[in-house]
Structure 1
Amino acid sequence: MSAASSSPAPSPQQSAAAKSSRVCLNCRRKKKRCDKALPSCGRCTYSLQVCQHEDDIGLPGGASMPGPIRFESFMDQVVSPTRTYTPVLEHLASPQPLGPRWSILNPSLFASMDANEDISSFACRCLSDILGHRQGTEHIVASYFSGVNTWFTIIERASFDADLKDMWAVPSAETAVLTLCMRLITRTPNAVNPVAGMGDSLYLSAKTMLSLVQSKVALSIPLLQAELLVAMYEFSHSMPQQAYMTVGRCFQISRAFGWHHDMFWSEERQSHVPRELKLCSILWWAIVYVDCLVHVSYQDQKYPMHAANLHWDFSIPFPESFDQYLPGSLTFGFQGQGQSSGSSSSSSIGYLDANIDHIDGMVWPEATSAWYLSNVLQQLGSPTPATAADRNMLSGAITAHTINVLSGNWKRGDRTAAVGTNFIALMKVNQPGLISGSTVPSGATTPTTTTTTMTGTSLLDPASATAGNNDPRPVETIRSVISSIYSASLNTEQAEPRLRNGGVAPCGAFSMYYASLLLISHGGGVLQDGDWLRKVEGFKRTLEAFGRRWKIADRYVESINIALGNRLGNFLP
């Protein structure tokens, strides 16, 4: 009997249907029987999965999934070579959505993951499902470094670009999830796609991916950087509870790294591994920075600072203190700096940006700003309030640091995060002198000592006032700071491109909001500002523009309207 006659005759239905010569990858991973139907086998059709075969994605014949897959080849096959890159660029530049591919993570990817696939290959497949292809991903990374990273400078671009290039050949879970978080922080909510927060599928995908990768690989610097980007996204898009929890995880990761021990920052280690320690210092102060902003920006919900619970007898050095050990890096000078952490004693030249793409040239004055704001908030919350002399000394140091920042030379962008944070600290530290009624002109009405917050509670605490000083400096400082904030707010049209790109820090929104509350309560009193109402309206218009980029600004506009209503009563239109 011949082989042909011994084989069963195919049924008419089998003859009509196309068949693959191989078992699909999903059935192979699950070790299930595959009917090999094309274009999708029955099992993949039933489970709503993408049915793929080795020939489809260019895997070597007979190779198993856990083997070393060239992700570049994988991407080239998933995305057709004839496909144009124009939709990616159009999506990044236009508010028009291009469909769920750009915002949702396919649930079938999680269903298909099992012990036979390593986490790096899985993370890279998820990244390709969300971002599309290599050129689109690299465009997003470039947008991040030209926007958010100019003021939240927590990633060295040179090393990241090298990691990203390697990822196209050898999958990396850490690089993939960090890239996804970059996309999260750079995406702009708009009228067409107004969702930002817990309802944003990209946010949920990034959080899920980050948690999954952390459960599979050891803690690393890229994972901490990804957590920080998520925390900044949550803070700036009005998710205080989530931001508070994420910042707490960042502090726990820093503890696991050993940053809470003074030996980690010893002078011997500084001279041996300055590059590594400088990046660790930047990340540490970035954690403190976000911690302070969450605490100060959501005062109605009373989120305590994590950093305040760390009772140390040492201080983590500022990033610039490591530059003395880095050949070719610039020397930085400061006036009135509040912490002697190894900074240069040269004449004050402000901050100079050498090459922000390399750790040697990276500067982060926000570290000093975070240190000042943290000190101010801890002083105001202390059971033993600081004296007027101590507050004046701290105010002078913050002012000197602000001048240093503004006098710096920058290759890209500006330092709105450092300046805005300093303005917040200046208004906070001088607040007791303002509400004590200093320098009230003859015949003027004594201002009230409270103002309305988002929930109607007191923002300006009269218990923290120090009476009987008659010191004009707090009032003059606050008046000068509000004037500076207002002048900057008038340049919204010029800053609109940078705002859309994420090049303007969200802390500026709180500085305008806080200045508005001070004007509403004290503009016609000790501040003696006859134009206080016009300034408040100007702040509202600027905050509405901010709200198109950082959703927290919309929250502040609502709060200002409540405070104005309480102040003007029936006169408010």
Structure 2
Amino acid sequence: MVTAVPTASPRGSDSHSPMEETAERAHRACEKCTRTKKKCDKALPACSRCVRLAAACCYEYVFTAPTTAVVDPSTHSGSPNDHPAGLTRHSLFDPDLDIPASMLMSLLSSRGVSWPEAVDLYFQTTNLWLSAVHQERFAQRLEGLGPNDVPQEPQVALLIVCMHLVTQYADSGRPTMPDGTEMLSLPAYVVAKRTLGLLRATSPPSIVLVQCSTLLCLYEFGHGDFTRAYITVGDAYTTAKFVDVRPGKYVETEKNRPVHPEEDERRDLYWALLIVDRLIRVERRLVWKAFNVPSPTDDDLLPTTNIVWDHQAQGPVRTVLRHPAGVSPTVTLGAFQRNCQCAILFTRALTWEAETYHAGRPPGVDSFAELDIATRALVQAMVTQASTWGEYYECFATCTCLLLLLYCSYLCTIDAANIHSSTSNVEVLKAIAGINFTIRIIADTTTDLNEHLARRPALLATCSPVTPFSAYHSLAALSNFEHVIPEADARFHDIYSSLHFFAKRWGVAGQLVNRIESFLATKDEEGTTLDFSFQSRAL
């Protein structure tokens, strides 16, 4: 109960009236005035402000509100007890709690980063193979902004920060090899992650928030925080379900029908979510985790905006075509659509691995023959259609990880003494041939990429986090089966060198380098092999 206490008049005691002497006041401000941080006269039965606003006045409540500080990093200075300009304190119970877009944009401007340039870099690199942000719809959200203006919508500002993050380099030019730790401590990432949580809690579900989550998952995976990446993509799809993110269905009679940008945006985002949800499992500790994003069916629509290289025009050409998810690999597609096909095949490989493990029987090469043929057909189609390896490099990396998963999982069940080129076991011979085919692809693509990077280091900006895992898994296969792989030592050295290149882009490559260095330090002494098995279920 509220205790009413006598309140002294501000005037002298001689001027008290009987009415004023008996006037009662509450011992604290009412709930509404406290929540909105307004002065309350504590009058009973209702304060004058609540009476004026015709609002219910309540003194019987428990209110111990925590606070959160939103700081503009460009203006923060002084001791922790100072209250610099740009520091705003909000109550988490405040319905007007807001994240100013200017604070988010200052994460870029305080570092001298031009946000239009950051956006352009994203669309020229990452978005080519992971089109999480629809370029036309994004431009519509910025409509009306002048060249020197900044977005005023917090969700759009957050998306720009996320687009900038996934184009940042880990920079292995430092004395120590990066392992992603520093990248996950960047103020831009920390603030973006916390802001996303606040916006998801205080705003309705939106396409933009799903896009932010997708890019943050890619960033976390690329810099080695696998647990966080897995949770982030799960949260993203939970939100996506409320904003109708889905691929849609292919209808033959609608093949040439124009595509509405909003429809295209939702379709692209579904496939982007599927890609990150599947490809983070190239890290073996995530192989056994349940899928966050449901698998597509053969009649689901692939992304309809297709960017392919035109040999006559010597440049990328944008087309809008409708193709089902089960379209033949011989149909010419862009990198994003190819990545979608890779994600579908990788889903089948992960499902095969799980079913084989739970069945308690050793895998046979015949059990994944159909998947092997489909993957090789996709590789062959990309080789035929591409002008260089780099056009589909991320897709080649995924396919090689997939093939190594299949063949190495099988060979791990075979006695090492029976794995040799003169064996009479046909399945072992097929597996040896499969591993050699895969290592050759990785060696060739690595050689081509290294040559291009030597001339144009900026090409590394397009590199996906899957590329270092492709190198790592091939090194694991070389270390375990070197006796059946021609020129194993030379290939090991070349691919190992490329992993250092990738560490300039993604911190996770530094973690993989450290794993290999630890293995090499003990190999001769203990006769160990590089741990690459996909059988581990621990995280």
| Same-fold status (TM-score > 0.5) | yes
1:523 aligns with 2:508: no
1:425 aligns with 2:402: yes
**For residue 43 of structure 2, what is the aligned residue in structure 1?**
none
- 1:246–1:398: structure 2 CA closer, same or farther, 3 Å change rule? same
* SS of residue in 1 equivalent to 2:185: coil
Alignment of structure 1 residues 10-25 onto 2, 5 Å: none
Contact 1:184 1:203 (C-alpha < 8 Å) held by counterparts = yes
Percentage of matched positions with identical amino acids: 18
- 1:539–1:412: structure 2 CA closer, same or farther, 3 Å change rule? closer
Picking from 297, 319, 344, the partner of 2:283 is: 297
1:485 aligns with 2:485: no
* SS of residue in 1 equivalent to 2:463: coil
- 1:220–1:558: structure 2 CA closer, same or farther, 3 Å change rule? same
**CA distance in structure 1 between the partners assigned to 2:87 and 2:250 by the alignment:** 44
* SS of residue in 1 equivalent to 2:152: coil
Deviation string for 1:446-480 (max 9, x for gaps)?
xxxxxxxxxxxxxxxxxxxxx95446333222212
**For residue 135 of structure 2, what is the aligned residue in structure 1?**
157
**For residue 371 of structure 1, what is the aligned residue in structure 2?**
344
**For residue 102 of structure 2, what is the aligned residue in structure 1?**
124
- 1:532–1:388: structure 2 CA closer, same or farther, 3 Å change rule? closer
**For residue 160 of structure 2, what is the aligned residue in structure 1?**
179
Letter paired with 1:183: H
**For residue 569 of structure 1, what is the aligned residue in structure 2?**
525
Gaps of 5+ in 2: 1-35, 40-68, 78-82, 307-317, 529-539
- 1:566–1:377: structure 2 CA closer, same or farther, 3 Å change rule? farther
**CA distance in structure 2 between the partners assigned to 1:49 and 1:368 by the alignment:** 43
Alignment of structure 1 residues 95-106 onto 2, 5 Å: none
Letter paired with 2:405: K
**For residue 125 of structure 2, what is the aligned residue in structure 1?**
147
Alignment of structure 1 residues 351-430 onto 2, 5 Å: 351=333, 363-382=336-355, 383-384=358-359, 388-408=365-385, 414-430=391-407
**CA distance in structure 2 between the partners assigned to 1:545 and 1:484 by the alignment:** 18
- 1:348–1:241: structure 2 CA closer, same or farther, 3 Å change rule? closer
Q: CA deviation at 1:522?
A: 0.5
Contact 2:482 2:488 (C-alpha < 8 Å) held by counterparts = yes
Q: CA deviation at 1:208?
A: 1.4
**For residue 15 of structure 2, what is the aligned residue in structure 1?**
none
Letter paired with 2:354: G
**For residue 302 of structure 2, what is the aligned residue in structure 1?**
319
**For residue 205 of structure 2, what is the aligned residue in structure 1?**
219
**CA distance in structure 1 between the partners assigned to 2:334 and 2:237 by the alignment:** 30
**CA distance in structure 1 between the partners assigned to 2:71 and 2:366 by the alignment:** 68
Picking from 215, 218, 222, the partner of 1:229 is: 215
Contact 2:302 2:322 (C-alpha < 8 Å) held by counterparts = no
**CA distance in structure 1 between the partners assigned to 2:203 and 2:231 by the alignment:** 21
Picking from 419, 425, 429, the partner of 1:472 is: 429
Picking from 537, 544, 547, the partner of 2:503 is: 547
**CA distance in structure 2 between the partners assigned to 1:501 and 1:175 by the alignment:** 27
Q: CA deviation at 1:423?
A: 1.1
- 1:342–1:471: structure 2 CA closer, same or farther, 3 Å change rule? closer
**For residue 468 of structure 2, what is the aligned residue in structure 1?**
509
- 1:528–1:404: structure 2 CA closer, same or farther, 3 Å change rule? closer
Deviation string for 1:408-431 (max 9, x for gaps)?
458996222212111111121223
Alignment of structure 1 residues 445-464 onto 2, 5 Å: none
- 1:420–1:116: structure 2 CA closer, same or farther, 3 Å change rule? same
Letter paired with 1:568: D
**CA distance in structure 2 between the partners assigned to 1:189 and 1:135 by the alignment:** 17
**CA distance in structure 2 between the partners assigned to 1:140 and 1:330 by the alignment:** 26
**CA distance in structure 2 between the partners assigned to 1:474 and 1:107 by the alignment:** 65
Letter paired with 2:300: P
- 1:413–1:494: structure 2 CA closer, same or farther, 3 Å change rule? closer
Misfit runs of 4+, over 6 Å: 29-32, 47-50, 268-273, 410-413
Cα-Cα RMSD: 4.2
Q: CA deviation at 1:143?
A: 1.5
Letter paired with 2:384: S
Deviation string for 1:320-350 (max 9, x for gaps)?
5798xxxx945588xxxxxx6464x7x9353
Contact 1:292 1:305 (C-alpha < 8 Å) held by counterparts = no
- 1:401–1:280: structure 2 CA closer, same or farther, 3 Å change rule? farther
Contact 1:492 1:542 (C-alpha < 8 Å) held by counterparts = yes
1:201 aligns with 2:187: yes
Q: Which shifted more, 364-373 or 485-494?
A: 485-494
Gaps of 5+ in 1: 1-28, 33-46, 51-77, 80-98, 101-105, 334-339, 354-362, 445-466
**CA distance in structure 2 between the partners assigned to 1:556 and 1:181 by the alignment:** 25
Alignment of structure 1 residues 51-70 onto 2, 5 Å: none
* SS of residue in 2 equivalent to 1:494: helix
* SS of residue in 1 equivalent to 2:399: helix
- 1:215–1:272: structure 2 CA closer, same or farther, 3 Å change rule? farther
Contact 2:301 2:325 (C-alpha < 8 Å) held by counterparts = yes
Q: TM-score, normalised by structure 2?
A: 0.67
**CA distance in structure 1 between the partners assigned to 2:207 and 2:157 by the alignment:** 13
**CA distance in structure 1 between the partners assigned to 2:464 and 2:159 by the alignment:** 20
**CA distance in structure 2 between the partners assigned to 1:412 and 1:206 by the alignment:** 34
- 1:111–1:243: structure 2 CA closer, same or farther, 3 Å change rule? same
- 1:351–1:302: structure 2 CA closer, same or farther, 3 Å change rule? closer
Letter paired with 1:177: L
**For residue 196 of structure 2, what is the aligned residue in structure 1?**
210
Paired residues, what number?
426
**CA distance in structure 2 between the partners assigned to 1:374 and 1:203 by the alignment:** 29
- 1:171–1:322: structure 2 CA closer, same or farther, 3 Å change rule? closer
**CA distance in structure 2 between the partners assigned to 1:248 and 1:49 by the alignment:** 29
Letter paired with 2:510: D
Contact 1:141 1:179 (C-alpha < 8 Å) held by counterparts = yes
Deviation string for 1:193-212 (max 9, x for gaps)?
96634422221011112222
Letter paired with 1:172: E
Picking from 120, 133, 136, the partner of 2:114 is: 136
- 1:541–1:245: structure 2 CA closer, same or farther, 3 Å change rule? same
**For residue 44 of structure 2, what is the aligned residue in structure 1?**
none
Contact 1:265 1:277 (C-alpha < 8 Å) held by counterparts = no
- 1:381–1:145: structure 2 CA closer, same or farther, 3 Å change rule? same
**For residue 556 of structure 1, what is the aligned residue in structure 2?**
512
**For residue 450 of structure 1, what is the aligned residue in structure 2?**
none
**CA distance in structure 1 between the partners assigned to 2:428 and 2:493 by the alignment:** 30
Q: CA deviation at 1:441?
A: 3.1
**CA distance in structure 1 between the partners assigned to 2:518 and 2:263 by the alignment:** 46
